[in-house]
Structure formats: C-alpha cells, structure tokens
Amino acid sequence: MTDAPSSTSPTVAVIGAGPAGLMAAERLAQAGLRVTVHERMPSVARKFLMAGRGGLNLTHSEALEPFLNRYDAPARARISGWLDAFSPADLTAWAEGLGQETFVGSSGRVFPKAMKASPLLRAWLARLEGLGVEIRTRSRWTGWNEDALRFDTPEGERLERPDAVVLALGGASWARLGSDAAWVPALEEAGTAVAPFRPANVGFDLAWSSLFRERFAGQPLKGIALSHAGRTVRGEAMIAAYGVEGGAIYALSADLRDAVARDGSAALTLDLRPDQSLEALARRLSRPRGKDSLSNWLRKAAHLDPLALALLREAGPIPTEPALLAARIKGVPLTLTGVQGLSRAISSAGGVTLDVVDEGLMLKSRPGVFLAGEMLDWEAPTGGYLLQASFASGVVAAQGAVDWLEAR
C-alpha cells in the first residue's frame, strides 16, 4: 500500500499519541491507510515534551552490540528485530528529514541541535496533517464493546469499528502526563497477560546523615563510576534528600531494584576517581602532607571537592594510611535501602508480556490489534535507548498492521 488514503482505504485507529503511537500513525498513513489517532489528554506527546526540556536525547551513536545490551535480557532478542526495522541511524535521518539537525554529544548521545522536543513535534504534526492523519484529543479508550472500540469523549460515548488498531498507551510512570496504565483492566478482561508495573530509571533511598543531607541535597556527582554485582558504569549522579538518582544510577536501576526487592537492600560502590588506578592514587597520597588539614590535602592531592570529602566521611572515619585511603576513594560503599515509586520514575518495567504478541506486535488472541511502546514489557536505561525502542516498536506495529490488512 503506497497510495494516498481514499474513502475506500482501510481504517486504522491509533490509540495513544506518544512517540510510538505517532510513529505508527505516520507509517500507516504513508502506506495509504486512513488513520485516526485518539489521545485522552487535551494535547499530544506530553511526556515526550517533558523529556525534551533538559535536552531531547533521541538515541545513541554506539555500535549495535553494546546498544542492544542496554535492554533487559528477556526482551533483547525482540528489540533487536525492532532496531532492524528502525535503527538509530534511521531515527536520526527521520529527525533531520523534519528539519531538525542533530549532533552527537561527548557521551555519544544524539540530540537535535534545538535541544528541545517542541520544534520537532511541531514539524512532525504538520507532516501528519499533510498525510491526512486525524488527531482527536480528549478521546479516552475504555475497552471493547463486542467488536467495537469504546471511547469516552466530551460529546459522550462513541463506538468505532476500524479495520485495525494500534494500541500505544504508555506505561505507568508520569501519570499526570497520561501514562497511568488505566488501560490494564481492558486488556486483562480481553484475556491479555499484563506483568505488574515496576519503577524503572528511578532514584533509590539512602540513609544520609542529617548534616550531609542538609548541605549536599541537590548537588551533582560528576565524572564518577558506580558498581553493583560485577557491573560498572561511568557517568553522573545527583544527591537527593531521600538518597541518590541520575543517569549512572538509572543505568543500574533494574539490577538495584531487583536486589532491594530480593534482599531488602542493595550494595553500591562509588569510585570518585575512576580515571586513576588504585596504585597511582596511593602513590599520590603517600606524599608528605605538611601543615595542610586533611580536607585541604585531599583537595590538592586527589582533587576531591567538598561533596566527595563528605561522602568519604559518610562511610566512616577516613583512613590515613595511603593504600587504605586510596581504596576508600576508589570504593565508597553505599547501601540503598529502598526504591522510589512509579510516581517518581522516568519509565516503568512491566506491561503486556511479549509472548502474547507475534513478531509484528499483533495480539495473538485478538487479530488486528497491535501494540507498541512502553505498554509492552521491556526495559531500558535513559540515554536514548527508551525513545529509540519506542519509535522502533511503532514502526514494527504499523508494518504488522499493513501486512495483516494486505493479507486479508
């Protein structure tokens, strides 16, 4: 199907106007189908716009193998197929096709030069309008009435019978932006397995001393490495009044969350000087201290700022023997005692299990209904991986719908 939609073209309802839903709508319309997007909120892509406030991280430039390893192992094989259909290079080219020039940051992340989501979204909506896509806001899907879709709208209940459906209803984080998992009962009533939602890319509780909390909450930790259960990540974190959050934490959050659930706590190790070996740091700390205070000497010898020094003290009395002191700087122990909830999570794990959809993301129990985005059970850290898989799943679901309609 490549022709422009006509009055006799098959109809598709896309439910959910986030990245996955809008991408599915674009591909379906380009295939010559008549597409209506339903969004229960007053405007579209609210979470997408929020994600772009600090710089819209579209995807990542790293090689495919390490890229794929960022996704949770149970879903990795399926997501590999999504990325075959819509790769990071494809996503970058798509953004630039909308007039949004991109660049690769020092960490390998890919951003639009505008560093915001709003210019890209405006251009995207204009393209969708040109393709004939109709977007209906304040149109909340409430389930099925036999073979019809049921919507709650300002004008009252509305029933529709499209030829195919793409559900892209989001996960369970950022409820105020529309991702509240209110769709779960409708899917479960239809016999679809939904794994319980859990917070992902989320902060963790840590029992800071009151003095540390009052002085350092809100301050960043830059150029660090964090290790847990044999995995080490480099990056940044943020001290929070409740504990710790930020990109390096999010990269480990799935394992940390599971450890807290299993053991009641999780052991995290903080390396304040990951660019220096233990031996090199110990040699620097073996130099005479002279008349300097311990804090001043550590500032000069190990380039530790007040936050780093305070973290050393949070772990107990600071050792004075060079080898032990170097070991403390390279391995500050942190005990995480709890996980922040879904209301504070950037994304969620859980959702419709991947075994109930086929390779085209069609529900095996309900032919003609396709799923995309965070409502499916997969997980990834921030850094472009979440958006990449969401966009790619929208492409796969749309192609699945096109293929299914053509086969009919």
At residue 294, the pLDDT reads 87
Domains in the chain and their CATH numbers? 11-199+349-407 (3.50.50.60), 204-339 (no CATH)
Per-residue pLDDT tens for 244-267? Answer: 999 999 999 999 999 999 999 999
Q: Listing from the earlier edge strand, what are the strands of the sheet with 148-153? A: 140-145, 148-153, 156-160
- Confidence band for 4, pLDDT divided at 50, 70 and 90: low
Whose tokens are 């990071």? That residue is 88
| pLDDT tens digits along 228-239 | 999 999 999 999
pLDDT, position 289? 85
Residue 104: is its pLDDT beyond 80? yes
State pLDDT tens for residues 36-91: 999 999 999 999 998 878 789 999 999 999 999 999 999 999 999 999 999 999 99
What's the confidence (pLDDT) of residue 408?
87
Residue range 98-105: mean pLDDT, rounded = 97
The per-residue pLDDT for 3 is 52
Q: Percent of the chain scored above 90 by pLDDT?
A: 90
Q: What is the pTM of this model?
A: 0.93
Mean pLDDT, to the nearest integer, of 112-116? Answer: 93
pLDDT single digits (tens) 166-191: 999 999 998 888 889 999 999 999 89
Is the model's pLDDT at 1 over the cut of 50? no
Mean pLDDT of the chain: 95
